Structure 1
Amino acid sequence: MRPENLRLRRYILALSTLALISLSTPLALSHDAPKGWTYPFACCSGYDCREVPKQAISERPQGYVIEGTGEVVTYQDARIHESPDGRYHWCSVAGADDSKTICLFVPPKSY
């Protein structure tokens, strides 16, 4: 077999393998909270959101304060959502503990 044909065959095999892998891998649109509800895609890329203890978020007159970063999310902020399970969930950039808030799920006032 000529070297050019061998290279072409290897190239086609590599492309076919990549195509097969990409088709068999499910898309990560969002992920589930521990209690089974799904974080909205706008808040989560599969790893940005997690449940946090109530001590991680405090309510102050100016809004919700993320204790780890000092960031204040005002009560009128569109990033705030009611938590379906009555617990705090924080979605931050790349899921990092020291990054900005993407979404914050808070317990309803009745909890």
Structure 2
Amino acid sequence: MRRFIFTAICIAAATAANAHDWYQDTIDPQTKFKCCGGSDCRAIPRSSVRSRIDGGYTYLPHDFTIPRDRVQESPDGQYHICESTYVVTNQLYWRCFFAPRVNVSMTANPSLTMRLYAPDPHALTGKRNPPPVTKAAAASALTAQ
């Protein structure tokens, strides 16, 4: 029985370590700091994430605002966040944010395909969120550039 328990613990530890390995090499695209300090990154539920009209996100439990230029692609189709605590104030802050990616084609021309980070389909129904961006608005924004 002890051997079984020991084996189960070893398998669980190895699985948790492998699931966390991909965070180790990630770096915030703006700050250039490492995302993970060893145990501060984790998957978060879609229900805790809200899409913003500017392409960023809000992480609700702590009301963190994540700008679009700091959102990274999630390799497993889930949302993830890396958090840490300031030593002096003991205040929680986010280091890195990962969102699922979706390819959206605005025209029949495949060279004009945009990559967007997928919002939670239920996130845009809340009162705190702005209305979703329409295809026409996105197309006019692309032609304006």
Which bin holds the TM-score, normalised by the shorter protein? 0.5 to 0.7
TM normalised by structure 1 equals 0.57
DSSP 3-state at the match of 1:38? helix
Where structure 1 has 5 or more consecutive residues not aligned to the other structure, the ranges are: 1-30
- 1:65 counterpart residue number: 58
Report the secondary structure of 2:81's partner residue: strand
Percent identity of paired positions between Structure 1 and Structure 2: 31
Q: Which runs of 5+ in 2 are unaligned?
A: 1-16, 26-33, 86-90, 104-117, 119-145
Distance in structure 1 (CA, Å) of the matches to 2:57 and 2:48: 10
The aligned amino acid for 2:101 is P
- Work out which of the residue numbers 94, 110, 134 in structure 2 matches 1:101: 94
C-alpha contact 2:24 2:38 (8 A) present in aligned 1: no
Tell me what 1:33 maps to. Answer: 19
1:47 to 10, 25, 39: 39
Q: Provide the aligned C-alpha RMSD in A.
A: 2.1
Q: What residue is the counterpart of 1:9 in the other structure?
A: none
Give the distance between the partners of 1:59 and 1:50, measured in 2 at CA.
19
| 1:32 to partner: Cα distance | 4.2
> Can you list the C-alpha shifts for 1:43-81, whole angstroms capped at 9, x where unaligned?
11111100111111111114200101111111122xx21
Aligned length: 74
Give the direction of change, closer, same or farther, for the CA distance of 1:32–1:59 in structure 2 (3 Å limit).
farther
Give the aligned partner of residue 67 of structure 2: 74
Question: Which amino acid in 2 is paired with 1:73?
Answer: I
Output the CA distance in 2 between the equivalents of 1:108 and 1:102. Answer: 19
The letter for the 2-side match of 1:59 is S
* Mapped partners of 1:60, 1:90: distance in 2: 17
Give the AA of the match of 1:103: C
| Higher Rg of the two aligned structures | 1
| Bigger helix share | 2
TM-score by length of 2: 0.45
Cα pair 1:92 1:101 within 8 Å, conserved = yes
